[in-house]
Structure 1
Amino acid sequence: MASIDLFEASISLFCFVIFYYFFIKKNFGYLLIKKTLQSYAWNWPVLGMLPALFVWHNGIDDIIWFIEKKNLTFLFKGPWFTRMDALITVDPANIHHIFSSNFSNYIKGSDFNEIFDVFGDAIFNTDSELWKNQRMSIQAMLSHQDFQNFSMSITTSKLKDVLLPLFNRYSEEGTIVDLQDVFRRFTFDTALVTITGSDPQSLSFEMPDVEFAKAFDNAGDAILIRHIMPKFLRKLQNRMELGQEKTLIEAGATFDRICAKYISAKREEIRSQGFDHDHDHSNGESEDLLTSHIKLDTSKYELLKPNDDKFLRDTILTFIAAGRDTISTALTWFFGLLLKHPYVEAKIHQEINTNLPKSTSSQERPWSDIDRKACLNKLVYLHGALCEAMRLYPPVPFQRKSPIKSDVLPSGHKVDANSIIIIPIYVLGRMRSVWGDDALEFKPERWISETGGLRHEPSFKFLAFNCGPRTCPGKHLALTAMKAIIVEILQNYDVKLIEGQKIEPKPRLVLQMNHGLRVTLTKKCSA
């Protein structure tokens, strides 16, 4: 076994040395590979299709063209002996099969669990009965009206007490604002308050560095590298605590230390209030999610362990990962697209002015006298524009699955047990054969029916909130929060894009903008 591992390591190292020398250091391979990409023989000896990854990074049109030519599904061949082969598909029929109709056969798998091991047994990292227990408990909490009101009150408080004063100052000083940074800090703070009851106050005039938030960024970067690095090399770096693996180890230590503080403080708070540990508060009463999980009824969810600090630690990380970067990324791309399409912005303003009152007092919370959710639900065109932004720039740009048993997909492709299947959601949203000839255009109208209501698109075609049994349980909460934030900004400020900035995706686990989104703000005069 040692000799096999050594042989695999030698071949993999050879591949990377060749690739580095000829295609990066000598800098003459890009045009050759790009030309070869559009021919039959682009599966290179030894290197496989690895060079194409770098071409794809520089040209999404090449990827779209190639996948369309391959009828939406093809086998990616990695370098020899590196076990990096994967079936790539954006075929909606295949996606429906994998995520819904044959869901039980397609799991995250041990490799995925290993890649994301810093998050422990998070719900997005688990399968089978443990996942089912987690899913049921989370759905019970998030769907309860009291919790939804609690969550919304945190968002509106942060808007009124922090974001608006901050934007007022930026407006007065003529400061250039990075909306991406603002949104990430906003959602990090609201997520922490919702989860633990504690506000890290990362969004403030000082814009402080927050160790916990930085650990999430570092972990995300390292996990992305794990997806494309041969396993032997990753394990070697981990053992020797080198490179990105060292960064991931340090991020994990930060997670452990900070979560331990939150858990200890929360247990003490519950004890001081005299609550019975096993009393059932899983119905989502107006309390933070950590409190609800500590009080979880173990008779309902036998595999969940509220007495185990590791379970609570993994739960905290799960909700932060779900509630921070996904929402902030969707908001950033929404505004990036909105500010380049004035007619869309005008229609959203008209819809807001028609359906929502503007608060006239600084002491008055937006929509305090009406049902916020019902009011926001009237904003059909805004909803469509949000979906359109997430179609083109999905917060999570790809999904990974592994079949338990061999199977044949609707496209006719055979998949072996324990093989890797990649669904590039970012590419799926740009497929002309899926979305029409105008697939690359930002058109909120595609989400509006002839009668003016929302047009339903199948989740296996629009994967921004996942699909099938793993559909995001916080989907409606997230959409409501995003609409509330957008409305508050658009009602109070004129937002202008700084000309000349380069707006492009950054290759990460969450599809952020590479250089942020720089804007100026001008406060609107009260009517």
Structure 2
Amino acid sequence: MDMSWLMDTKTFLQAYPDIVLAFVCFAFFFFFCYCYYDRICRSRSRIPVNWPVVGMLPALLVNLHRLHDWGTDVLREAGCSFWFRGPWFLGMNHLLTCDPANVHHVFGANFSNYPKGEAFLEIFDILGDGIFNSDEQSWKEQRTKAHSIMSGRRFRTFVADSARSKVEKGLLPLIHHIAQRGVAVDLQDVFLRLTFDTTCNLVFGVDPRCLSVEFPTIPFARAMDDAMAALLTRQTVPPAWWKLMRWLRVGEEKKLAMAWKEVDHFIAEHIAEKKRSGEANDDMLSAYINDNDDDNDRAMDGKRSTEFDKFLRDTAVNFMLAGRDTTGAALTWFFWLLSQNPMVEAKILKELEEATSLRKERPSSDELIVFGTDELGKMVYLHAALCESLRFFPPVPFEHKSVLQSEVLPSGHRVGQGTKILVSAYAMGRMEGVWGGDWAEVRPERWISEKGRMRYEPSYKFLAFNSGPRACLGKDVAFAQMKTVVAAMVYNFHVEVLRGPVAAPKLSIILQMKNGLMARIERRRDRK
């Protein structure tokens, strides 16, 4: 059978993707202008119109620039759960929810019926067979191993020491230099560089030193950003659409392919170096390699060298994503929120000053102070402020689940086998029915009990670190890093966020800030 016409078509599409895209856009906007826009203008409802053939896709594309806030508006009007209907026969029908009862059921009570699923694995293929993509036995084995490493006292000490050292020798000198020069700086860039260095140290045992005055370009970090943006696109367009783009190697899929290559190159180099050195360090890859060499881990039995290298690669990618992107984004939004709420900043500063007053030696006004683990562990208001920021801006705004067996959710929605469920952690933090009438107020006090201790909130209500059996293993690591950074920054410096574009989430699976966080830094010198 002559297939030359297929190759000729592919060649044409690759050669003239702009023409194809222009035609598609023209057809879409023609439909939108004559059918969709008129109806929306006459309706105050935020619920998107379910059109024949195209479903609710026009509404999604029109609101893509404000995806998370649009989804929140829709869920608020729909009562926390909503069926999104995509184009016919293209597999885009999802149940969107932020109902805590549904989350508790899906993530906890009936966890086994809601795996990530094949669709998730296909979308997030760059993560390989790592812990984020895996289900059932593979997930259990990987989680058990990761938990044994991360819960150990030696690794926890390594985390605390690494965070303190990086803040003391990297972050504070850089911020002090910027403050002395009086120039503006993108704090999101600074925090992502910081978390990239610290995560590389935790995963590989090496410090790439990208947090420096020179602000060197790190291809791996840029590749991860491109990959995360492409993965969001995959979740907001029909699967056939992004698969066609992948086949043609155009648009976001071309960027993803290039990013994938850079990610693999970076990780392969570090794995090879780790094996060559043979050093017994406290980082995560050393633990995996040593256990494999000692033949102590049953999950590794029978794996050939190439298979084990792939396992290490997938593990490294998953932990790099979890450590670098999420914590960096959380710190960025925290300081933006702090700039909008000076009373919260004042209370954190007061708590920090009380901690320094208990030290045997009073710090001088010129000394840059870093707080220790014991001191940070006693700071209730600081922890509460971080939780409040994470409520508004969870680093992973969406969670994705599929259905094995049909059933009815607590919200009354019936989900059939193969149904895709999207849980919006971003929307959940903005629901009056979940957080009360003052949900829009930044109030860390909501996290503090009458006895002055942290108030417990169930994870199915506060979804920043996932919920149920798949709850984030790195929660304590993340809090340790964030507390160390925030305490040192707030105590030593005042951050003045500059006016500019409205702070908005970037189109990515990680809730980074779209235009960065431009700020000027001032040194706090006048202390009592």
Q: TM-score, normalised by structure 2?
A: 0.88
Deviation at 1:96, TM superposition (A): 0.3
Whole-angstrom distance in 2 between the partners of 1:129 and 1:39: 42
1:50 alignment partner AA: L
SS state of the match for residue 125, structure 1?
A: coil
1:147 alignment partner AA: F
Taking the TM superposition and a 5 Å limit, the aligned residue runs for 1:109-148 are 109-148=117-156
Cα distance, 1:61–1:250 mapped onto 2, change above 3 Å: closer
Which structure 1 residue ranges, 5 or more long, are not aligned?
1-5, 7-11, 276-285
Cα distance, 1:440–1:507 mapped onto 2, change above 3 Å: farther
2:370 alignment partner AA: P
SS state of the match for residue 423, structure 2?
A: strand
Q: Is the 8 A contact 1:187 1:328 kept in 2?
A: yes
Residue 82 of structure 2 is aligned to residue 74 of structure 1: yes
Taking the TM superposition and a 5 Å limit, the aligned residue runs for 1:59-458 are 63-270=71-278, 287-296=282-291, 298-302=295-299, 307=305, 308-356=308-356, 357=359, 360=364, 366-367=370-371, 372-458=372-458
Whole-angstrom distance in 2 between the partners of 1:68 and 1:56: 18
Whole-angstrom distance in 2 between the partners of 1:251 and 1:213: 9
Q: Which residue of 2 aligns with 1:281?
A: none
Deviation at 1:389, TM superposition (A): 0.6
Deviations 1:74-110 (A, max 9, x none): 2110012211000111111110000000001101101
Whole-angstrom distance in 2 between the partners of 1:117 and 1:341: 40
Whole-angstrom distance in 2 between the partners of 1:384 and 1:56: 32
Pick which of 158-167 and 290-299 moved more.
290-299
Whole-angstrom distance in 2 between the partners of 1:40 and 1:339: 34
The one of 34, 40, 51 equivalent to 1:44 is 51
SS state of the match for residue 396, structure 1?
A: coil
Q: Is the 8 A contact 2:230 2:508 kept in 1?
A: no
Deviation at 1:346, TM superposition (A): 0.7
Whole-angstrom distance in 1 between the partners of 2:468 and 2:23: 42
Deviation at 1:20, TM superposition (A): 3.3
Whole-angstrom distance in 1 between the partners of 2:462 and 2:368: 37
Q: Is the 8 A contact 1:295 1:306 kept in 2?
A: no
Deviation at 1:37, TM superposition (A): 6.3
Q: CA RMSD in A?
A: 2.6
Cα distance, 1:16–1:402 mapped onto 2, change above 3 Å: farther
Whole-angstrom distance in 2 between the partners of 1:31 and 1:181: 42
Q: Is the 8 A contact 2:68 2:426 kept in 1?
A: no
Deviations 1:312-350 (A, max 9, x none): 111111111000111111111111011111111111111
Deviations 1:397-426 (A, max 9, x none): 111100111121111211111110011111
Deviation at 1:16, TM superposition (A): 6.5
1:302 alignment partner AA: A
Deviations 1:47-84 (A, max 9, x none): 21112223475487764454233221121100122110
SS state of the match for residue 80, structure 1?
A: coil
Q: Is the 8 A contact 2:107 2:469 kept in 1?
A: yes
Deviations 1:465-517 (A, max 9, x none): 00000000110111011011011111111221213442122221111111111
Whole-angstrom distance in 2 between the partners of 1:27 and 1:484: 55
Q: Is the 8 A contact 1:168 1:523 kept in 2?
A: yes
Identity, % of aligned positions: 43
Cα distance, 1:445–1:34 mapped onto 2, change above 3 Å: farther
Whole-angstrom distance in 1 between the partners of 2:69 and 2:227: 30
Q: Is the 8 A contact 1:75 1:87 kept in 2?
A: yes
1:123 alignment partner AA: I
Pick which of 44-53 and 133-142 moved more.
44-53
Whole-angstrom distance in 2 between the partners of 1:13 and 1:233: 15
Q: Which residue of 2 aligns with 1:487?
A: 487
Deviation at 1:122, TM superposition (A): 1.5
Deviation at 1:526, TM superposition (A): 7.2
Pick which of 187-196 and 495-504 moved more.
495-504
The one of 3, 19, 28 equivalent to 1:19 is 28
| Length, aligned pairs only | 498
Deviation at 1:365, TM superposition (A): 7.6
Whole-angstrom distance in 2 between the partners of 1:28 and 1:515: 34
1:434 alignment partner AA: V
Residue 520 of structure 2 is aligned to residue 525 of structure 1: no
Cα distance, 1:409–1:240 mapped onto 2, change above 3 Å: same
Whole-angstrom distance in 1 between the partners of 2:517 and 2:453: 31
Whole-angstrom distance in 2 between the partners of 1:179 and 1:34: 39
